[in-house]
Structure 1
Amino acid sequence: MDESPEPTDSRTADGSNDGSDGGELGVGIAIGVAVGTAVGVVTDDIGLWLPIGVALGVALGAGLNAHE
């Protein structure tokens, strides 16, 4: 009954800490929002480019987070 919940920090499969705080995803999203907004303003279609920028930012952030 006294089982502790699974850790939500940045632990690897073997339980060791990889030293990452998980900020890479946030950085990727911020870059994606900035790029998507800039392209949207230039093309006068921010409604299309902002979500595309966010999606690309999530992919970028996940890629940055996938270091070994």
Structure 2
Amino acid sequence: MERRSFTGIGIALGVAIGSALGIAMDNLALGIGMGIAIGVAIGAGLDASRRRKSDDRKPDSSDGGD
């Protein structure tokens, strides 16, 4: 089964939150831009965390077994 990236989910949530902030600040373009940037950062962080956890579970093949 193929694992999917969290980047798309992060962008979608970031745009939603950024739109709300943009409307509240009366600057929708800035809010959406900030939301996308935050969403990409969160998605990349979640992807890296998941990759690190899956790498920790794999057995170490460099144990020197010649």
Task: Give the TM-score band, short-chain normalised.
Answer: 0.5 to 0.7
Aligned to 2:12: 30
Aligned to 1:3: none
2:3 to 16, 20, 34: 20
Q: Return the offset for 1:49.
A: 1.1
Aligned to 1:42: 24
CA RMSD of aligned residues (A): 1.6
Structure 1 residue runs of 5 or longer lacking an equivalent are 1-16
TM-score (norm 2): 0.68
TM-score (norm 1): 0.66
The structure where helix makes up a greater share of residues is 2
Aligned residues: 50
Q: Partner letter of residue 62 of structure 1?
A: A
Q: Return the offset for 1:53.
A: 0.6
Deviating 4+ runs (over 4 angstroms): none
